[in-house]
Amino acid sequence: MSGPRHVVGIDLGTTHTALAAAPVDDEAAAAAVERIAQLVTTTTVEERPLLPSCVYFAHETEAALAIPWDRTRRHAVGEYARSRGAEAPQRVVASAKSWLSHQGIDRRADLLPLGAPPDVEKISPVQATWHYLDHLAESWGTRHPGAPLAEQEIVITVPASFDAAARDLTVEAAYAAGLENTSLLEEPQAALYAWIATHGTDWRKHLSVGDVILVVDLGGGTTDFSAIAVREEDGSLELRRIAVGDHILLGGDNMDLALAHLVSRKLAAEGTELDRWQLTALTHGCRNAKEKLLAQPDLGSVPVVVPGRGSQLLDGARRSELTRAEVEAALIEGFFPRVAATARPGGRQRAALTQLGLPYAADAGITRHLAAFLTRQAAAAAELGAPAGTLLRPTHVLFNGGVTKAPAFRDRLLAILNDWLANDGAPPVKVLPGEDPDLAVARGAAYFALVRRGRGLRIRGGTARAYYVGIESPMPAVPGMETPVNALCVAAFGVEEGSPAEILPQELCAVVGESVRFRFFASSVRRADRAGTELERWGADELEELAPIEVTLPAEGRTDGDLVPVHLASSVTAIGTLLLEAVPLEPAKPDERWKVELGVRGDTEEV
Amino acid sequence: MLAAVTAPVPFSTRLWLAWVAYFRILFDGAFAARVLAAREGNLQPLQTPPPERPRTPAPTPLPEGPDPTAALVLLGLLQREGRLVDFLKQDITTFGDAEVGAAARVVHEGCRRALHGHIEMVPVRSEPEGEPVTLEAGFDPTSAKLTGAVGGSAPYRGVLRHRGWRAEQVSLPRPVGTGDATILAPAEVEL
């Protein structure tokens, strides 16, 4: 093996996966999107730029789901799996990525598809991710014989809001698929890399020191905000990711569903009840109607037709329509409400959009989530010398994700954002013209791999959060009161990949032969805490509790049940994951340290 | 035919035939010649034999049709995405225009998407329809067709009535496995 021949960017999306590649030895080459071979029916294969992130498990009565590289396969990844989602939903895994970042479940447990019949061998969110990557590797193999994907240099993108455990699990899935030369990149950064790649050295004409770019990523299933600042470092421009938002399960699919429910209510008022199949057909129809109404401002309404299910197309066909007013009320007012910068997402009122298990956003108001992000991160640009305001003030906006293709949504979001900025005494934002928002992330990820090899500008980021271990403080228990917990910072905000490990001065106790759990927290706003800082109290929304971490100390000559004092050591690996280790004060063998498992099992919620 | 001539004819018919033949022999020379020949036992067929065909080489069979699999795959695709087969197979005469129109939207929407996704099509001519165009000598007669007062010689000046379509790129789904391509849409049984 003579080193990788290609750099490959993989956008592992909630709803779709894309892959872009560039040869490493061609200075002039740009990253190109690679088409992915996939089953589209039981008997036909197509190469498409997007691979729906779905797996379908065939029933015993079905013929093998033959794919050119495996004629006996019993499962399918991609378009056919997606289409079966409407027909046999209990055999289809979808949205595995949302499960991968779900705090409340054991993410290595075999729980997908939810509610699968007994003959389906369930898989974990990690295995589902492995299936997608494995499929990419197989499809790649047909196009690049002699240069298997496992031998290439791979960058997989994750949401900036993915916590340390979700990043770990993504890498675990990549390793399981044989992709060992893998590193991670945050999606909003990848989108900005794609923009830089298109503009070459011209990007400096658009941006100058002190600018803050707000990346608004509105995908099929998730909404993600990041802020990236332009700084000067040693006399040259540098980009630094200064803030990331929360993981919000809200996206374009919610919009289509909202419209489908609207139309089905209208049909119900006329006495027509739709079954699940018809509701799916209606959702497709609503998506098309939405795209037309949003793209053509002079259209007043678009008919939506639910065809008859049987071979008699016209029998039982139901016709309704979506008007401009309805779409604007449901989507623009519903998802982009005109709110003040002080607005916050509403509480737990679960609408018809939710599905058992996944923690979908309770509030569909994307602008409320954005207001919360900008005000929470008001101080994020302080170190750049930006004047302090009541909110983080972006100077530029980069849109990414399929939802942002609609000018109506972009314009509305910009209008509201500019209102907030004007109220705060800041100038309006400029829009960085993006590329195809469905494919930019994969292309940007491949470009990042080239950048890392020394071609072009690198965005510096480091950890998007500071991480804390909960330590019970030595106080007598008071009945009816929870034992107070101190938060010990184990990894500071903004620690860069590959930095040397930091060993904390505090001693913790591990029990030999048992696994000991610690509560685990993260903060996306406490920038000043260093590893070793111990907090006795903190602001209500400063720290977010994550799934607990777990240390298991094998005996190595010690007696089971013994208490062993350990130090925690933290580092950020070169691939971009957080590594926590327990280092015994009295090692039983030289260089003894034990990996701390991040958020492997949540307080298992019934799913 | 021969049997009809040799079978005995009943007397009443013979009487009628003698009467008719009497006058026809008198006034129709050709008929008289044939009757004379028949009387001398030298019967000729009534019609003149067809002219001998010019000799042709052994007949060329029609060229083989294309492999039907591709057509079936395309039809299956249009049915899956746009219910085209359902639409064409249904008798729509009793439905109102509104119902047919509603169904046509489903078919149009889906088939259009399928077509766009699999066949890249461009007009053959870029001029707007209704504009005068000139076809120079040696134009490709498969990509442009002359209509109206077809005659004369190049250059041909006329009006563009239809721009034509050319499939630039075709990427049909590829069949895999042992599936039966003749199944355009499987029956659906809901459990």
Cβ-Cβ contacts under 8 Å for A21 (sequence gap 6 or more): A6, A7, A8, A9, A31, A32, A34, A152, A446
Residue range A123-133: mean pLDDT, rounded = 96
For A54, A100, B102, the CA distances from B99, given in Å and listed in that order, are 35, 46, 5
Residues forming beta bridges with residue A244, ordered by sequence position? A226
Q: Which domain holds residue B29?
A: 13-46
Flag whether B114 is in a domain: yes
CA–CA gap between residue B89 and residue B105 (Å, rounded): 16
Residue range B13-30: mean pLDDT, rounded = 76
CB-based burial of residue A275 (10 Å sphere; 0-12 exposed, 13-18 middle, 19+ buried)? exposed
CATH of span A252-335: 3.90.640.10
Is the pLDDT at B4 greater than 80, yes or no?
A: no
Q: What is the structure's pLDDT at B154?
A: 85
**Interface contact flag, A317 B106, Cβ < 8 Å:** yes
CA–CA gap between residue A224 and residue A242 (Å, rounded): 14
B164 shares a domain with B107: yes
Mutation for A interface: B105, B171, B178, most A CBs within 10 A: B105
Q: What is the structure's pLDDT at A589?
A: 82
Flag whether B176 is in a domain: no
- A340: pLDDT confidence band, cut at 50, 70 and 90? very high
**Interface contact flag, B106 A305, Cβ < 8 Å:** yes
**Partner residue facing A305 (CB), from B76, B80, B105:** B105
B95 shares a domain with B30: no
CATH number among 3.80.10.10, 2.40.50.140, 3.30.420.40, 3.90.1170.50, domain A206-249+341-435: 3.30.420.40
**Interface contact flag, B76 A41, Cβ < 8 Å:** yes
B178 touches chain A (CB under 8 A): yes
CB atoms within 10 A of CB B88: 13
User: In chain B, whose CA is at the least distance from the CA of A71?
Assistant: B177
Per-residue three-class SS string for A23-62? ECCCCCCCCEECCEEEECCCCEEEEECCEECEEEECCCCC
Q: Is the dihedral of CA B172, B173, B178, B181 positive or negative?
A: negative
B85 shares a domain with B25: no
Range 52-81 of A in CB contact (< 8 A) with B: 63-68, 71
**Interface contact flag, A307 B174, Cβ < 8 Å:** no
Of residues A192, A236, A197, the one with CA closest to residue A212: A192
**Interface contact flag, A63 B179, Cβ < 8 Å:** yes
**Interface contact flag, B102 A319, Cβ < 8 Å:** yes
Range 279-318 of A in CB contact (< 8 A) with B: 285, 288, 303, 305, 307, 311-314, 317
Give residue-wise pLDDT tens across range A489-528. 999 988 888 888 888 888 888 888 888 888 899 998 998 8
Listed in order, strand segments (DSSP E) in A208-349 are 212-218, 223-233, 236-244, 301-306, 318-323
User: In chain A, whose CA is at the least distance from the CA of B85?
Assistant: A311
Flag whether B189 is in a domain: no
Domain ranges of chain A: 6-185, 206-249+341-435, 252-335, 466-595
Is the pLDDT at A46 greater than 90, yes or no?
A: yes
Tokens of A233: 């470092």
User: In chain A, whose CA is at the least distance from the CA of B178?
Assistant: A43
User: In chain B, whose CA is at the least distance from the CA of A302?
Assistant: B105
Mutation for A interface: B92, B170, B176, most A CBs within 10 A: B176
CB-based burial of residue A328 (10 Å sphere; 0-12 exposed, 13-18 middle, 19+ buried)? middle
Cβ-Cβ contacts under 8 Å for A408 (sequence gap 6 or more): A294, A328, A332
Flag whether B132 is in a domain: yes
CA–CA gap between residue A166 and residue A157 (Å, rounded): 12
Helix, strand or coil, per DSSP, at residue A513? coil
**Interface contact flag, B103 A66, Cβ < 8 Å:** no
Shortest alpha-carbon distance between residue B63 and chain A (Å): 28
Chain B residues inside the 8 Å CB shell of A71: 176-177
Chain B residues inside the 8 Å CB shell of A68: 176
Shortest alpha-carbon distance between residue A18 and chain B (Å): 17
Percentage of chain A modeled with pLDDT above 90: 46
CA–CA gap between residue B57 and residue A590 (Å, rounded): 96
**Interface contact flag, A41 B109, Cβ < 8 Å:** no
B75 shares a domain with B162: yes
Specify the pTM.
Answer: 0.84
Shortest alpha-carbon distance between residue B87 and chain A (Å): 6
**Interface contact flag, A307 B103, Cβ < 8 Å:** yes
- B7: pLDDT confidence band, cut at 50, 70 and 90? low
Flag whether B165 is in a domain: yes
B127 shares a domain with B90: yes
B79 shares a domain with B19: no
ipTM over 0.90: no
Percentage of chain B modeled with pLDDT above 70: 88
Tell me the range of A4-8, A474-478, B180-184 where mean pLDDT is highest.
Answer: A4-8
Is the pLDDT at B49 greater than 70, yes or no?
A: no
How many Cβ pairs within 8 Å bridge chains A and B? 79
B72 shares a domain with B27: no
Is the pLDDT at A412 greater than 90, yes or no?
A: yes
**Interface contact flag, B99 A317, Cβ < 8 Å:** yes
Give residue-wise pLDDT tens across range B85-143. 999 999 999 999 988 998 998 899 999 999 999 999 999 999 999 999 999 999 999 99
Mutation for B interface: A41, A276, A306, most B CBs within 10 A: A41
Shortest alpha-carbon distance between residue A285 and chain B (Å): 8
Give residue-wise pLDDT tens across range B149-172. 999 888 999 999 999 999 999 999
Give residue-wise pLDDT tens across range A396-410. 999 999 899 888 899
* DSSP state at residue A329: I
Give residue-wise pLDDT tens across range A81-106. 999 987 888 899 988 998 888 877 88
Q: What would you report as the CA-atom Rg of chain A, rounded to the nearest whole angstrom?
A: 25
User: In chain B, whose CA is at the least distance from the CA of A46?
Assistant: B173
Q: What is the structure's pLDDT at A464?
A: 85
Give residue-wise pLDDT tens across range A225-265. 999 999 887 777 888 999 999 888 899 888 998 999 999 99
Chain B residues inside the 8 Å CB shell of A319: 98, 102
Range 137-176 of B in CB contact (< 8 A) with A: 171, 173-176
Is the previous residue joined to A474 through a cis bond, with omega within 30 degrees of 0?
Answer: no
Give residue-wise pLDDT tens across range A57-90. 999 998 889 999 999 999 999 999 999 987 888 8
Shortest alpha-carbon distance between residue A78 and chain B (Å): 14
Flag whether B188 is in a domain: no
CA–CA gap between residue A454 and residue A109 (Å, rounded): 40
Shortest alpha-carbon distance between residue B103 and chain A (Å): 6
Give residue-wise pLDDT tens across range A157-168. 999 989 889 999
Chain A residues inside the 8 Å CB shell of B180: 43
Tokens of A378: 């008001």
**Interface contact flag, B86 A311, Cβ < 8 Å:** yes
Is the pLDDT at A603 greater than 50, yes or no?
A: no
Give residue-wise pLDDT tens across range A197-230. 988 778 888 898 999 999 999 988 889 999 999 9
The H or E element that residue B110 is part of is: helix B97-118
Q: What is the structure's pLDDT at B1?
A: 42
Fold match flag (A206-249+341-435 vs A252-335): no
CA–CA gap between residue A560 and residue A380 (Å, rounded): 47
Range 2-21 of B in CB contact (< 8 A) with A: none
User: In chain A, whose CA is at the least distance from the CA of B188?
Assistant: A310
Mutation for B interface: A313, A315, A320, A321, most B CBs within 10 A: A313
B28 shares a domain with B87: no
A41 touches chain B (CB under 8 A): yes
Flag whether B63 is in a domain: no
**Interface contact flag, B98 A319, Cβ < 8 Å:** yes
- A472: pLDDT confidence band, cut at 50, 70 and 90? confident
B111 shares a domain with B34: no
**Interface contact flag, A313 B83, Cβ < 8 Å:** yes
Helix, strand or coil, per DSSP, at residue B157? strand
Q: What is the structure's pLDDT at B6?
A: 56
Domains identified in chain B, total number = 2
Shortest alpha-carbon distance between residue B46 and chain A (Å): 59
Flag whether B61 is in a domain: no
B160 shares a domain with B88: yes
Instruction: Tell me if B114 sits within 8 A of B82, measured CB to CB.
Output: yes
**Partner residue facing A46 (CB), from B92, B103, B173:** B173
Shortest alpha-carbon distance between residue A47 and chain B (Å): 8
* DSSP state at residue B141: T
Range in A73-87, A575-589, B70-84 with the lowest mean pLDDT: A575-589
Shortest alpha-carbon distance between residue B162 and chain A (Å): 27
Chain B residues inside the 8 Å CB shell of A42: 177, 179
Q: What is the structure's pLDDT at A349?
A: 42
Tokens of A382: 């302080």
CA–CA gap between residue A305 and residue A321 (Å, rounded): 8
B92 shares a domain with B24: no
What class, spelled out in words, does domain A6-185 have in CATH?
A: alpha beta
User: In chain B, whose CA is at the least distance from the CA of A72?
Assistant: B177
B78 shares a domain with B163: yes
